[in-house]
Amino acid sequence: MKPVPFTYIQPRSVQHILDALAEYGSDARIMAGGQSLMAMLNLRLVEPKVLIDISRLEELRNIRIDDNFIEVGAAVTQAEFLSWPHLEQEAPFIARALPWVGHFQTRNRGTVCGSICHADPSSEIPLALALLQGEVVLRSKRGERRLKAAQFQTGMLQTARGDDELVVAVRFPRGVGTKGVAFREVARRHGDFAIVSVGIVDTGAGMLRIAVGGVADRPSCIEVPRTISSSDLAAIVETFAWDLGGFDDLHASARFRRDLVRRLVPSLVVETLQCAA
Ligand SMILES: Cc1cc2nc3c(=O)[nH]c(=O)nc-3n(C[C@H](O)[C@H](O)[C@H](O)COP(=O)(O)OP(=O)(O)OC[C@H]3O[C@@H](n4cnc5c(N)ncnc54)[C@H](O)[C@@H]3O)c2cc1C
């Protein structure tokens, strides 16, 4: 199948994008790396009248650090972020999770923000945003707002983004995970979407934050004390896994996904504590 005909816009500036979004609203689609959108267009799962290609806009291609956050602009590819020289030091969790996002070919075009906007429950970058309690920066002609990960992703492939809003950047808190971090995912092959992914960071406040992707309709987090006993942890993870619910698909049943959570979390807690020691 081929896409429905659309008008292609290559914007000159962010202002140009915001003008086009204000004019066309839900008839317009932003295209970043196109790694998810092109398939959706070809299958006619989406039928926009206007496609706004932001991939070559230099204004959006930057990684900035301020006192608290690493800000990744909307045109920064996953490969560019992965090769950012400060990644391991500033965001060790992302340094571990990013190589699992697709393949180097897809990472060369796919963007960090595009993955967050696509909001696939099995995706590693939304998992990282939820785990690190990052935020999404949205801009429209009405102004700018920032949403926490939990406010932004509202369900499977669903976000709180308005039709006239551009995600201009995502912001990851600096240094989270430097005291201990672990990531693992189970997928059919490396580069496939995760059946289940688990990330853990030591928050530095006596707590471990645990995020699970691929089970519920969005990444889900809990916190447990660093000093928790293995029996208490098993009980908490049991309840957490049940509460995630899960879904059956071609790759795994909901029951199998919950079982992976029960098995992966305790071993990753040990890994996080060892990494911190
Ligand atoms: C073979 C293959 C394997 C893959 N494996 C994985 C994997 O293991 N894990 C994983 O997480 N992903 C995987 N992906 C998806 C990949 O990571 C995509 O790059 C990502 O999901 C979307 O990023 P993109 O920049 O390509 O966005 P696009 O495809 O261009 O856009 C995706 C959606 O987000 C919207 N959007 C994009 N940017 C913005 C913005 N700035 N503001 C508002 N809306 C925006 C678009 O309108 C569209 O609805 C895979 C893709 C392929 C082709």
Residue 248 forms part of a structural domain: yes
Give the pLDDT mean for 244-255: 91
Task: Give the chain's mean pLDDT.
Answer: 95
Phi, psi of 51 (to 5 degrees): -115, 125
Pocket mutation for ligand 1, best pick of 8, 54, 117, 159 (most atoms within 8 Å of C-beta): 117
Residues 24 and 65 in one domain: no
pLDDT at residue 192 above 90? no
Residue 277 confidence class, pLDDT cut points 50, 70, 90: low
Report which protein residue has its CA nearest ligand 1's atom 47: 30
CATH code of the domain containing 18: 3.30.43.10
**Do 28 and 110 have their domain in common?**
no
CATH number for the domain harbouring residue 82: 3.30.465.10
Is 229 domain-assigned?
yes
Q: Of 126, 149, 173, which residue constitutes the final position of a domain?
A: 173
Among candidate residues 114, 144, 173, the one where a domain is terminated: 173
d(CA 51, CA 60): 17
pLDDT for res 45: 95
pLDDT in tens, 83-92: 999 999 999 9
The per-residue pLDDT for 9 is 97
| Same-domain status, 65 and 157 | yes
- CA angle at 107 for the pair 101 and 197, rounded to the nearest 5°: 5
Residues 36 and 107 in one domain: no
For the chain, the domain total comes to 3
Residues 192 and 272 in one domain: yes
For residue 74, give the ligand 1 atom closest to its CA. 41
Name the more confident of 250 and 1: 250
| pLDDT band, very low/low/confident/very high, at 13 (cuts 50, 70, 90) | very high
Same domain, 13 and 104: no
Share of the chain above pLDDT 90, in %: 91
Asked, for residue 1, whether it belongs to a domain, the answer is no
Write the residue with the smallest CA distance to atom 13 of ligand 1: 102
Does residue 2 belong to any structural domain of this protein? no
Examine residue 143 and state whether it is found in any structural domain, yes or no.
Answer: yes
Chosen domain end from 145, 173, 201: 173
Domain range for 95: 58-173
Q: How many CB atoms are closer than 10 A to CB 33? A: 25
Q: What is the CATH number of the domain that holds 266?
A: 3.30.390.50
Same domain, 185 and 99: no
- The residue-averaged pLDDT of 242-258 equals 92
| Closest C-alpha to ligand 1, atom 1 | 102
CA 53–ligand 1 middle distance (angstroms): 13
- Judge residue 183's burial from the number of C-beta atoms within 10 Å of its C-beta, 0-12 exposed, 13-18 middle, 19 or more buried: buried
| 87 domain-assigned | yes
Does some domain include residue 239? yes
* Residue 98, CA distances (Å) to 65, 107, 180, 225, 272 in order: 19, 9, 17, 27, 18
User: Which residue among 115, 166, 190, 193 has the greatest number of ligand 1 atoms within 8 angstroms of its CB, and so is best to mutate?
Assistant: 115
Are 150 and 236 within one domain? no
